[in-house]
């Protein structure tokens, strides 16, 4: 299958230095291709990354942790990745976990071992881990659960986190008391002292928290040795990759725009920047090296966890999307909430990320519907608002204006090119790209690699 790396992904061309000039030439290097979630997660990022990863030299994760759950279906086998970049399947490419990721070491090794049983080979040799990445400890995961219980008791609502310790680990990082991979691999006695201080810090906030410190340290020491061969200075590794010979470098976003700590539906968000800025800070690369930014969106909307969801359908249409789409969380097994596609959030995600193209997945799930709706604007007190509201009370109050499309009532799962799609489905797709102002490059009509129609 011809793939989708454009000339933009190749070396950035520079103006040659003027004759006689002594100033160094700024060799800006290769560009990375970025895949980001444009809704509330689970859009099919893993599948898009897998498609591109077959031709990639390096596949990177830059943020989030094992709260992510990315599914890849190859040769009828379903793999799910949480911390490992989905490109790990490709035996010819290197996978990199950048400094912006928070790593739960037992989770990382369990994930690798589990996928090994499904046929994944040699992943430890293909994985590079940044020495600046922060560590998620088991007690961070316990604290995540305790904080959820407290939120429920105090405000009557939890966030519905994945309980993978993501919020507490990023809190430790921001409070400057966190521990990084480089600390684990350094002087273990210093690491142990700082680990014990960190445990005390959390125990002072959560008196019910018990931690078997010695047992934890013993396990961490073992993990350190298993991890050591994979660890590099991530900034230098990326610098060399960007400035060496032409390389295809892919960045796999985790979570999604509406879960971003700054731009998402705060506080019902995750704790990292899942938008394009997180690529630079999470890998230590300059903005000039960002090439294509592909937004991934489902042909409808889903959300796991609590928080505003203006186009949610608590009715038969929502139930149909949930069951037909098998909308169950990969990480937590929770049912995903379902609703119509919301082009207000897609435009908002585009304002922040500057998508160069979109992958629209799961079109096939809409095949049986009589009519399909798409949210095109939010109204407050009867008037359209041009922006996406920051305040959750306001977001709960908006009235969604919909455009209604007739269903195509045809099986699209065997379509492999644009002309195979029914005219009504083509019409639906064209409306979406025109409304957002971004071309749709792929349309997903099934789980496997072949079920991706490439438009250009």
Annotation: binding site: 41-47, 67-71, 162, 176, 255, 270, 330-336, 362-364, 444-447
Placement of tokens 């299958």 in the chain: 1
Counting contacts by CB under 6 A, is residue 350 touching ligand GDP?
no
Beta carbons within 8 Å of 7's beta carbon, 6+ residues apart: none
The residue annotated as part of the active site, out of 82, 140, 173, 441, is 173
The closest of 393, 399, 349, 394 to 378, measured between CA atoms, is 399
The closest of 321, 356, 316 to 335, measured between CA atoms, is 321
Counting contacts by CB under 5 A, is residue 69 touching Mg ion?
yes
Instruction: Determine contact, residues 424/406, Cβ cutoff 8 Å.
Output: yes
The residue annotated as part of the active site, out of 9, 50, 57, 70, is 70
201 catalytic? Reply is no
Instruction: Select 66 or 289, whichever has its Cβ closest to ligand GDP.
Output: 66
Residue 167, contacted partner among Mg ion, ligand IMO, ligand GDP, none, CB below 5-8 A by kind:
ligand IMO
Instruction: Select 65 or 69, whichever has its Cβ closest to Mg ion.
Output: 69
**One of 63, 95, 313, 361 touching ligand GDP (CB under 6 A):** 361
Counting contacts by CB under 6 A, is residue 447 touching ligand GDP?
yes
Least distance in angstroms from the C-beta of 334 to ligand GDP? 12
Annotated binding site for Mg(2+): 42, 69
- Rg for the chain, CA atoms, rounded: 22
Counting contacts by CB under 6 A, is residue 70 touching ligand GDP?
yes
| Binding region for ligand IMO (CB under 6 A) out of 163-171, 190-198, 286-294, 372-380 | 163-171
435 catalytic? Reply is no
Counting contacts by CB under 5 A, is residue 64 touching Mg ion?
no
Give the integer Cα–Cα distance in Å for 435 and 437: 6
Least distance in angstroms from the C-beta of 261 to ligand GDP? 18
The DSSP letter of residue 215 is H
Counting contacts by CB under 6 A, is residue 311 touching ligand IMO?
no
Helices 188-205, 213-227: axis angle to 10 degrees equals 130
Counting contacts by CB under 6 A, is residue 172 touching ligand IMO?
no
Structure tokens at 131: 């020495």
CA 289 centroid distance within chain = 19
The closest of 20, 100, 432 to 285, measured between CA atoms, is 100
Give the integer Cα–Cα distance in Å for 407 and 433: 18
Instruction: Select 69 or 291, whichever has its Cβ closest to Mg ion.
Output: 69
Question: Residue 344: what are its φ and ψ, rounded to 5°?
Answer: -70, -45
Q: What is the binding site for ligand IMO (CB under 6 A)?
A: 37, 41-42, 67-70, 159-162, 164, 166-167, 254-256, 259, 268, 270-271, 304-305
């Amino acid at each position: 299958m011809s793939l989708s790396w454009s000339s933009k992904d190749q070396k950035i061309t520079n103006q040659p230095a003027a004759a006689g000039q002594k100033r160094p030439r700024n060799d800006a290097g290769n560009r990375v291709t970025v895949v980001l979630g444009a809704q509330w997660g689970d859009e099919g990022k893993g599948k898009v990354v897998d498609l591109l990863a077959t031709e990639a030299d390096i596949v990177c994760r830059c943020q989030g942790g094992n709260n992510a759950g990315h599914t890849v279906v190859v040769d009828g086998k379903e793999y799910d990745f949480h911390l490992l970049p989905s490109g790990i399947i490709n035996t010819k490419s290197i996978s990199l976990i950048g400094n912006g990721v928070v790593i739960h070491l037992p989770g990382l090794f369990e994930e690798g071992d589990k996928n090994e049983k499904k046929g994944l080979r040699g992943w430890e040799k293909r994985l590079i881990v940044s020495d600046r990445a922060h560590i998620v400890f088991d007690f961070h995961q316990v604290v995540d659960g305790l904080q959820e219980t407290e939120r429920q008791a105090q405000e009557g609502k939890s966030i519905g986190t994945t309980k993978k310790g993501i919020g507490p680990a990023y809190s430790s990082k921001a409070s400057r008391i966190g521990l990084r991979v480089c600390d684990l691999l350094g002087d273990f006695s210093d690491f142990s002292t700082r680990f014990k201080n960190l445990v005390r810090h959390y125990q002072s906030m959560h008196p019910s928290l018990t931690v078997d410190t010695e047992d934890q340290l013993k396990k961490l020491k073992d993990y350190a040795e298993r991890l050591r061969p994979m660890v590099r200075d991530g900034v230098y590794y990326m610098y060399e990759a960007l400035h060496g010979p032409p390389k295809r470098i892919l960045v796999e976003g985790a979570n999604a725009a509406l879960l971003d700590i700054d731009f998402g539906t705060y506080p019902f968000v995750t704790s990292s920047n899942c938008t394009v800025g997180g690529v630079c800070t999470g890998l230590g690369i300059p903005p000039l090296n960002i090439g294509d930014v592909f937004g991934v969106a489902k042909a409808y909307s889903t959300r796991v966890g609590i928080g505003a969801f203006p186009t949610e359908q608590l009715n038969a249409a929502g139930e149909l999307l949930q069951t037909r789409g098998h909308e169950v969380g990969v990480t937590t097994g929770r049912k995903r909430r379902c609703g119509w596609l919301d082009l207000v959030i897609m435009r908002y995600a585009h304002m922040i990320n500057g998508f160069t193209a979109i992958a629209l997945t799961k079109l096939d799930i809409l095949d049986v519907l009589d009519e399909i709706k798409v949210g095109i604007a939010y109204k407050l007190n009867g008037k359209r608002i041009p922006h996406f509201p920051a305040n959750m009370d306001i977001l709960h109050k908006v009235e969604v204006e919909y455009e209604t499309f007739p269903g195509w009532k045809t099986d699209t799962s065997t379509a492999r090119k644009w002309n195979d799609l029914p005219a009504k489905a083509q019409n639906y797709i064209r409306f979406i790209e025109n409304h957002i102002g971004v071309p749709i490059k792929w349309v997903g009509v099934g789980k496997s690699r072949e079920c991706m129609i490439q438009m250009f």
